[in-house]
Amino acid sequence: MVAPIVIICAVALVVLLIVVNIRIVPQATEYVVERLGKYKTTWSAGIHVKIPLLESVAKKITLKEQVLDSPPQPVITKDNVTMQIDTVIFFKIFDAKLYAYGAVNPISALENLAATTLRNLVGELELDGTLTSRDTINGKMTEILDEATDKWGIKVNRVELKNIIPPTEIQNAMEKQMKAERDRRETLLQAEGHKDAAIKRAEGDKQAMILAAEGQRDARIARAEGEAKAIYLAKKAEADGLRALRDAGVDEAVLELKKYEALVSMSNGKASKIIVPTDAVNMTKANVLFSETTGLGDSTKPAPDEPTPKPEDPCCERFEK
C-alpha cells in the first residue's frame, strides 16, 4: 500500500513542478532565460517551460516603443547664454540580449548620453540659432544617439526638444524686440496703404481728366463737324438757287441782287459796312422787273388816288327844287 502512495505523490509533485514552471510570454515581450547564471536563450511570445532549479528568467523586456522624458537641464550657448532645455526621446528595444547585458542601466545611460549630446550641439550655436534650429538639433541628436545605443540593443527613432526656456531678462528683451518688430511692420503696412491709396487716387484723377479732355475734344469735333455741315448745306442751297435762276434765264441784274442779299446775310444784322459796286446798282436800276417790284430807281410818280364821291343829301336836293 505504501508503494502506490509514493508513486502517486511523486507523479503529483512532478506535475506540480511542471505547472509551476510554465511561463506564458505576452505579445511584444521577450524573456531572457539563464541556466545556472549563464545566458541560455530568449523566449518570444507564447508558452514555455523552464527547467526547475536550473533555469531562471533573468529579464523581462518589452518590445513596444517607449518614451523617455528628460527633465530640464542648463545648457550654455556659444554666446554665453544659459538656457533650460528638456528633451523627449522615442526609442524601442530590438535585441533583448544586448539590452540585458550591454549596459548596467541602459535607460539611465541613454538619458545621460542625450544630455551631453545636447550640450555639445547647443554649445556650437548662438541664442538665435538655437531658437530657430530645432529641426537641425533634433536630427543630429537622433543620429548620434541611435548610433551610440546600437550596442545596447536600443533603436532611437526620434528626439524632440520639448521646451527651450531662456533667462528672464532675455525673454523680456525678446518680447520688446518682437513688439518693436510688430510696430515697424504695422508702420510699414500703413505707409504702403497710404501710398497705394494716393497712387490710386492720382490715377483716378488722371483718368478723369483724360476722359474729360477726350469728351471736350469729341464735343468740339462734333460741333465743328455740325457747323461745317450746316455751312456746306447752306452754300449748297444757295448754289442750287443760283443755278436754278440761271437755268430759268434770269438776267445778270437778278444775279447781282442775289449777290447783294448774300452780302447782307453775311453781315448777320451786325453794324457792318457793305460796299456795293456801282455797276451792280446801275444794272439793278436798269432792270425793269426790279424797279417794278422794289420801286428802287423808278422816277415815275405814282398816280393820285381817286376822290371819294360825296353821298347825296336828300334834304338839300329837296330845297333846291
**Are 78 and 35 members of one domain?**
no
Is residue 271's pLDDT more than 70?
A: no
What integer pLDDT is reported at residue 255 of this predicted model? 60
Mean pLDDT of 299-308: 50
CATH number at residue 90: 3.30.479.30
Residue 304: inside a domain? no
Domain count, the chain: 3
Domain boundary among 166, 184, 210: 166
Domain limits at 273? 250-294
**Are 162 and 70 members of one domain?**
yes
**Are 56 and 71 members of one domain?**
no
Higher-pLDDT residue of 29, 176: 29
**Are 12 and 27 members of one domain?**
yes
Residues linked to residue 229 through DSSP beta bridges, in sequence order? none
Q: pLDDT tens digits for 237-269?
A: 877 776 776 676 655 666 666 666 665 665 555
Domain boundary among 112, 131, 166: 166
Residue 240: inside a domain? no
Confidence of residue 87 (pLDDT cuts 50, 70, 90): very high
What integer pLDDT is reported at residue 305 of this predicted model? 52
**Are 46 and 100 members of one domain?**
no
Q: pLDDT tens digits for 163-195?
A: 888 888 887 887 888 888 888 888 899 898 888
Which pTM does this prediction carry?
0.54
**Are 35 and 47 members of one domain?**
yes
Mean pLDDT of 27-50: 91
Residue 237: inside a domain? no
Q: What's the chain's average pLDDT?
A: 80
Mean pLDDT of 274-285: 53
**Are 70 and 159 members of one domain?**
yes
What integer pLDDT is reported at residue 265 of this predicted model? 62
**Are 41 and 123 members of one domain?**
no
**Are 93 and 162 members of one domain?**
yes
**Are 23 and 82 members of one domain?**
no
Is residue 295's pLDDT more than 60?
A: no
Residue 111: inside a domain? yes
Residue 269: inside a domain? yes
Higher-pLDDT residue of 120, 316: 120
Domain boundary among 166, 185, 214: 166
**Are 18 and 57 members of one domain?**
yes
Instruction: Give the Cα separation of 139 and 133 in Å (integer).
Output: 10
What integer pLDDT is reported at residue 279 of this predicted model? 55
What integer pLDDT is reported at residue 19 of this predicted model? 79
Instruction: Give the Cα separation of 228 and 153 in Å (integer).
Output: 106
Q: Helix/strand/coil (H, E, C) string of the chain?
A: CHHHHHHHHHHHHHHHHHHHCEEEECCCEEEEEEECCEEEEEECCEEEECCCCCEEEEEEEECCCEEEECCCEEEECCCCCEEEEEEEEEEEECCHHHHHHHCCCHHHHHHHHHHHHHHHHHHCCCHHHHHHCHHHHHHHHHHHHHHHCHHHCEEEEEEEEEEEECCHHHHHHHHHHHHHHHHHHHHHHHHHHHHHHHHHHHHHHHHHHHHHHHHHHHHHHHHHHHHHHHHHHHHHHHHHHHHHHHHCCCCHHHHHHHHHHHHHHHHCCCCCCCCCCHHHHHHHHHCHHHHHHHCCCCCCCCCCCCCCCCCCCHHHHHHHC
What integer pLDDT is reported at residue 167 of this predicted model? 83
Residue 217: inside a domain? no
**Are 78 and 146 members of one domain?**
yes
Mean pLDDT of 269-298: 50
